[in-house]
Structure 1
Amino acid sequence: MSTTPARIPQRLIFHVDLDAFYASVEELDFPELRGEPVIVGGLGGRGVVSAANYPARRFGVHSAMPMHRARQLCPRGHYRNGRMERYRALSQQVFDCFRALTPDVEGLSLDEAFLDLSADPDARDNPEAIARALKDRIREQIGLIASVGIAPNKFLAKLASDIGKPDGLVQVSEAGRQAFLDPLPVERLWGVGETTTQRLRRAGLSTFGSLRRVPEPQLRGLLGRSASRIKALAEGKDDRPVEAHHVTRSISAEQTYGRDLNQLPRLQEELSRMAEEVAARLRGKSLETASVAIKLRTPDFHTMSRQRKLNRPSAQGAELRDVAQALATEWWQAETARLNRSPRLRLAGLAARELVAATGQLGLFGNQARGASTDALLDQARSRFGDGVLQRGIRRDKLGTDSTQE
């Protein structure tokens, strides 16, 4: 009896790269430098260029170049010592924007990261809109310019963002990968340096397409043991996962709405439902959460995240709900004041973060014990009759916010 292997779902990977990051921060902080060639790096006799903005690059200046050579090429440039504390602070703000979209963020440096949005159905339906909203948020809130590549894997996403610079947004689809790759020069392949490039070019292999068409045994004579890996890249194949270096795991629930959600009580109902779902999944895995986050996305695809620590780790739906609803109310009131009208949402989500093993000590007194017993009853009902059969009741107060009865 033969079986068909399960089909691996296509991934959705963003590669986000801040354009000329260090030099752009200097222009941000010192507006008189805008439009001028700016070079950041060590200014001593043996210093090297850490970053050069695009006006400086027109003179041939690039990163890793000896600073004395940069001064020869661009004598009228503005040369600045690096300010790492400032760069780290702005990098943190940018990465906060990334993590508002997804916890699956693999930082490569202060100014570059892979994001895996495969689990976000809204992003899968509208990847370019999500990427453009991310670029807009980084520009409007932080003042920096980012280029984004969108693709089914990391290699393609990185190539796409590089090709789109500056201020680029390039998507490579599964169907269009070879049309995108074939004309590219072989030196764009990861692991192909100057020596290998010359060897390939002497063999008449100057593009991804020409290399892709050569049988692998023939390539081994040119590339040795790396032939298989390089040929796979020329074909656009890259199975490496995004390796998020966050310590915490998360359990989340979210919903995209066919009609925009535009009432706070409705949002509170949704968060209450999600809190119950997430809490039940925590209990099913014998986990508790030390932090609750909400995720909200507006119709123009701007995504924001708010997070708050709990007083103690918990897997009680009521505790997760209360924190999530408080975060949502604070955001809603601030956004209503800013817009002078009620905001609208196309997506809402709730996540339990900073997960720890459950202690088993559910408490003996007061609301904690009552909440735990209610959760136990809910779990029994769901186990027997299915999800959604029983929920906590929701009462609306005079202010239009929600409170939940045990």
Structure 2
Amino acid sequence: MATAPLRDDQRIVIHFDYDCFYASVFEAEQPILKSLPLAVQQKQIVVTCNYEARRRGLHKLQLIKEAKQICPDAVIVLGEDLTKFRDVSKDLYLFLRSFVWGERVEKLGLDEVFMDVTDMITYNAALLNHSDLAHSFFQLNLQDPTVGFAFDASRIYGPTYPDGAGDMTEPDASQPYLKLLIASHLAGYLRNQLEEQRGYTATAGISTSKLLAKVVGTVHKPDSQTTLLPPYAATREHGESNVLNFLDSREIRAIPGIGSKLSRKIMSYIATTNHDVAEDKVTIRDVRLSPGMGPSLLEKILGGPGAPRDIGMKVWGLLHGVDNTQVGEARDLPTQISIENSYGHLDNFETVRKEMVSLATRLVRRMRTDLTESYDDAEAPTGSASQIPRSETKFRWLARPRTLRLSTLPRPAPGTNHAQMRGYSRISNSAPLPQYVFNLDESVDALGERLVRESATSMFRKLHRERSVWNLRVLNLAVTNMVEVAGDRKHNSGRDIGKMFLQRETQHGHIPPETDENLTIAPAASWEDSDEEDTDMPCIPCPICGARIPHFALVAHELYHSSCE
């Protein structure tokens, strides 16, 4: 067997996963739903449900018809419009990000956030009084040592893997244990603040990489956290690696970074070489200890045309819990904003026009939500925000897109086979974005109607002539080529946490959300299994209807088609 890859465990990463995110958004609006079985519907599928519903037998990707049979008194709410979920997701992201020094705060989908808190943890580890660890203080602000929270540095906060390893006798700031201990208290503090200030609970994982933090966070759910403790590598002093002990029992398809396609290839290989292993139950240990297994063999199994370079070495590292992927830097301005819808049948212009008006209205609304900031948030001195009524707050544009783009995807003719369907690709037309769109005094509905009347209609006619025959399955309207025009959105290290708390109290936590595109999302090939859907994530077209579906939602989408047959 090949040697294990070298580890680099200098970083400290916290992964947050909001509990039952879709359902919790509805529960925040109507608290009475927390005690009722609640399911969120998209198409004819349960995309998520709360824990009361799960207790009664409901689960994700379940057909609505089946869910009603199992739990007749379930409260089923529509989750087709993602606007409210996007807005809440952005607000929670900005809330968590406001505590962290530096730029390494990465959003994944709608319901997950990675934080690289190495600098904060290293700084606070140096402040510890080793003679009185039980009365320690975590400093949240570099400029103000009074901003922070008290904690007990003699023990870890929350559950751990392995279980029952909570106390520390002789701390050493150079050892990962101490830094992970401090990070467990930061994670607990942020989770508590998230619930107290925003009304949402989250589950956290604490480790030294995105991979390990994400996976260890699944051990204790919901509303909890887990810290993966050292030793991370087997040594003479420590005969076993907690990382390998933790990962070995998990199925290969449960590891982020090894997508479904790669998992199937690996499982197929293991099942053909080890008849004692069921193909759908292949564990990390089964793969890691398979005869001859190593980077070279994995390259043969997974390589080929279109395969990523050095895929064997990468997967070999993931099997050992080695992931050197950096937490992505937060970005403050999007590259584009895109609104899209898919249709079963769209072949007359009047219907197309109505749909374009709907898309344009949503697009303008997203632009205002994502690309503006209030004057008060940006310019008012500390404490003055409470003196300005919310209704009088003025907004300004942070960025202005220059280009409007309309895209369509034709529906294949009946009888078209899979190979022929590849010829049906998206077509698009672009034009300068009219300046009247940036008039904040004009209603969103009026601007959407005008944008279609004066711009989108002629763009559509360039794609589909008036007398030609067409049938569309996708319409997409987007703005691109962003140009920054105002505001300093750089996320500063050691920001004024005290002012931030004051603004939360006086403005009831309202922060103009940012667009999904400006929150760094890892490529689907690396991180494709977020629990909740975000339509701005990298997607693949459905071979049946052409709708662009996130990888992790493809199974639910296929179930939808089967239910319609």
Using the size of structure 2 for normalisation, the TM-score is: 0.41
Change (3 A) 1:333 1:238: closer
The match for 2:243 among 177, 184, 209 is 177
Counterpart pick for 1:77 among 74, 77, 94: 74
Matched, 1:213 2:210: no
- CA change 1:104–1:31 in 2 (3 A) is same
Distance 1:290 1:63 in 2: 41
CA separation of 1:24 and 1:224: change in aligned 2, threshold 3 A: same
2:30 match: 30
Q: CA deviation at 1:170?
A: 0.8
Task: Work out whether 1:142 is the aligned partner of 2:198.
Answer: yes
Equivalence for 1:364:
none
Q: Do the aligned partners of residues 221 and 59 (structure 1) sit closer, same or farther apart at CA in structure 2, a change above 3 Å counting?
A: farther
**Could you tell me which residue of structure 2 aligns to residue 242 of structure 1?**
327
Cα distance, 1:71–1:331 mapped onto 2, change above 3 Å: closer
Flag the structure with higher helix content: 1
- SS of structure 1 residue aligned to 2:194: helix
What amino acid sits opposite 2:54 in the alignment? R
CA contact (8 A) 1:152 1:174 kept: no
Match of 1:112 in 2: 112
Mapped to 2, the partners of 1:293 and 1:239 lie a distance apart of: 24
Q: Which has the higher contact order (CA 8 A, sep 6+)?
A: 2
Q: Does 1:66 align with 2:63?
A: yes
Go from structure 1 to structure 2 and tell me whether the alpha carbon gap of 1:55 and 1:9 turns closer, same or farther (over 3 Å shift): closer
Q: CA deviation at 1:291?
A: 6.2
Match runs of 1:354-393 below 5 Å: none
Quick one: structure 1 residues 208 and 292, their matched pair in 2 at CA, closer, same or farther if it must change by over 3 Å?
Answer: closer
CA contact (8 A) 1:156 1:236 kept: yes
In the alignment, the residues of structure 1 paired with residue 192 and residue 317 of structure 2 have an alpha-carbon distance, to the nearest angstrom, of 34
Give the CA deviation at 1:112.
0.8
* 1:96 counterpart (82, 89, 94): 94
For 1:182-201, list aligned pairs within 5 A: 182-189=248-255, 190-192=258-260, 193=263, 196-197=266-267, 200=270
- Cα distance in 2 for partners of 1:58, 1:208 equals 30
Cα deviation digits, residues 213-236 of structure 1 (max 9, x gap): 233259549943355443321210
The one-letter code of the counterpart of 1:41 is: Q
Contact 1:149 1:164 (C-alpha < 8 Å) held by counterparts: no
1:393 equivalent in structure 2? none
Contact 1:37–1:78 (8 Å) recurs in 2 = yes
Q: What TM-score results when the alignment is normalised by the length of structure 1?
A: 0.55
* Alignment partners' CA distance in 2, 1:333 and 1:187: 45
The change in CA–CA distance for 1:243 and 1:292 in structure 2 (over 3 A counts) is: closer
- The letter for the 2-side match of 1:95 is Y
Deviations 1:108-142 (A, max 9, x none): 12211111112222466310000000100011011
The corresponding residue for 1:153 is 209
Contact 2:203 2:221 in 1 (8 A): yes
Shift of 1:33: 1.5
Distance 1:208 1:332 in 2: 44
Number of aligned residue pairs: give it: 259
More strand by share: 1
In structure 2, how many angstroms separate the alpha carbons of the residues matched to 1:112 and 1:92? 11
> Quick check: 2:270–2:286 contact (8 Å CA) kept in 1?
no
Deviations 1:49-70 (A, max 9, x none): 2221122223443333333333
| Structure 1: gaps of 5 or more residues | 1-6, 249-288, 297-304, 307-326, 336-406
Change in Cα spacing, 1:241 to 1:61, as seen in structure 2 (3 Å) is: same
* Paired AA for residue 179 in structure 1: N
Q: Deviations over 1:240-272 (max 9, x none)?
A: 111124148xxxxxxxxxxxxxxxxxxxxxxxx
